[in-house]
Amino acid sequence: MPEISIYLKEQVIERLLKFQDVIVQAPTGSGKTLAYILPLFTILWKKKKVWPENEIGAVMIVPSRELAKQVGAICKLFADALSLSMRVMIGGKKGKSSSKADQCLSAAVIIATPGRLQSLISSNSDFKKALKALEILIIDEADRYTDSSFKAGMTEILESLPKQRRTGLFSATQAKEMEEIVKFGLRNPTQITITNCGAMLDSVDSVEAISPNTLNNFYMVVKADQKLHLLAEFIRSHPKSKILIFFSTCQCVEYMQIVLKELIQKRQIFALHGKKRKKAENQLQSFRKIGKSLMLCTDVLSRGIDVDNIDWVVQFDVPKQTSWFVHRAGRSARCGKVGNNVLFLTPEETAYIEFIEKYEKVSLTEMKVDLKEDDGAEQIRQQIIKMASKEREILECGTRAFMSFVESYVRHDCNVVCSSKDLDVVGYGHAYGLLRLPRMKEFHHSDLSDFKRSDLNTSEIPYKNAEKEKRRQEKLLLLKTENKELKKASRPQKRKLGARQNPQKDSAKKRRHSETKENMDDFVSDFSLLKKLKKGRLKKKEYDELMADSSC
């Protein structure tokens, strides 16, 4: 891998310095970040020794806050050495947007997430003017911006930048949708594809994902209700390993952290996802420092984040997009080190193995499942139910996690081989330790008869937080009062319903109703004629004739 890293930097630096645009596809952990930072600062230094205010010379776009901070920390070393100003723009702090925008105007180098950069461009005309001096644009993890959530923003950003610039797109994978960005933002780009043996191709027609040759890829097949049991046993069987575990959603991460802290009590367990911004940096730093620790995360950590010595990457759920498999796996085996990646699959998902091999060019080896206790999954389920029966927070967190997982599964991009119709809803409900299965349209027609519904009255489970429980009890009391009032109000109606059981009375009622309806129809008709007469749309003679007819 060191040879690949040197080769990559040589190829990228040479072309960018020659005013060529580049599309770089290289294995995760091969040094892509330095491959664009080195030419970027070289270009700026050669152009101007001192960059004036209101001129931005370089922009780096990265997909996440965490990656922006990491890239910013590396760039700061070069910026300080060359006396160049630099700003990391990631947003997220209310009330400071205007001051941050002003700071950007004095920066020669901007590192930003696409959402923050788009916001600055659309809201600050001075910032937009400052971009006219742009020399180089770098788009890191470029395939990420093919998502619909990014496309509109990226289009606006590219439209605001000068055409005469150098552009570099960097990623471990290149999706077909990348062609849209290439056509719009690059001029006759050179495509550099670094394989594990260090080869370079100037033109690559096929979409190909590249995985480091020091990375061992495995898969394990287990029934849905056994997945959490398998994860717990896997962690216990690797007591000295630093493990990164990927889940589908933020809610799954939060819930699994609660559950695993109960199941695995002798390991440090950290959690990071897109909605946990305040604690994200502390969690990441702690995970970096502490060996033998676990990090539970969403795909927010799948790209570019460097954490040394991750022994295992565990993909508990299949990723939303197939190409993300490579990025997740690439958090291990960084910079030439040996690493391991394992994907948990259910029997219904085994076709995914061939799918990955065909479209992402990654071969997976089966790892045999050895669960020591046959009833281990049921023991874990009962343990979770016991926790949820004492704290409403855990009960609700589990339900939210399960629902978010199902919703995420329905939306992933490989429904051909992992169909949501084949999802073992009951099995996952048991694995998550649910007391009740929530009502969801996603499995409205599924057979749920095998689900082991708990006999506990969930409405009686209290919140651990006293203030929260007090508010809940007040709402329950109010609801009971309203229900009583509704019942009172509905008693006369019930008597009416009872009366209808008498056929004779019911028949008389129908006759009266029919007569009343006829009278109302006549009244409406007469009133309509009168309105037409007053508005002059009907003559008096015509009105008298129609009224005479209606009375016959």
Instruction: Compute the distance between CA of residue 527 and CA of residue 534 in angstroms, rounded to an integer.
Output: 11
- How many of the other CB atoms lie within 10 Å of CB of 362? 20
Instruction: Compute the distance between CA of residue 176 and CA of residue 207 in angstroms, rounded to an integer.
Output: 7
* Each residue's pLDDT tens digit, 203-240: 433 334 467 788 999 999 999 999 999 999 999 999 99
**Listed residue (318, 146, 91) closest to 221, CA to CA:** 318
With H, G, I as helix, E, B as strand and everything else as coil, classify residue 319. Answer: coil
- Which whole number is the average pLDDT over 442-451? 90
- Which of 93-107, 479-493, 538-552 is least confident? 538-552
**Listed residue (26, 333, 72) closest to 208, CA to CA:** 26
- Which whole number is the average pLDDT over 346-365? 92
Q: Confidence class of residue 144 from pLDDT cuts 50, 70 and 90?
A: confident
Domains detected in the chain? 2-193 (3.40.50.300), 215-458 (3.40.50.300)
Instruction: Compute the distance between CA of residue 364 and CA of residue 357 in angstroms, rounded to an integer.
Output: 8
Give the C-alpha distances (Å, rounded to integers) separating 182 from 368, 404, 457: 43, 34, 58
pLDDT of residue 204: 39
pLDDT of residue 58: 96
Q: What is the DSSP letter of 535?
A: T
pLDDT of residue 228: 97
Share of the chain above pLDDT 90, in %: 50
* Each residue's pLDDT tens digit, 366-420: 999 988 777 899 999 999 999 999 999 999 999 999 999 999 999 888 888 888 8
Higher pLDDT, 258 or 488: 258
* Each residue's pLDDT tens digit, 321-355: 888 899 899 899 887 789 999 999 999 999 999 99
pLDDT of residue 222: 97
- Which whole number is the average pLDDT over 291-320? 92
Tell how many helices (H) and how many strands (E) occur in the chain: 19, 14
Length of the chain: 552
With H, G, I as helix, E, B as strand and everything else as coil, classify residue 374. Answer: coil
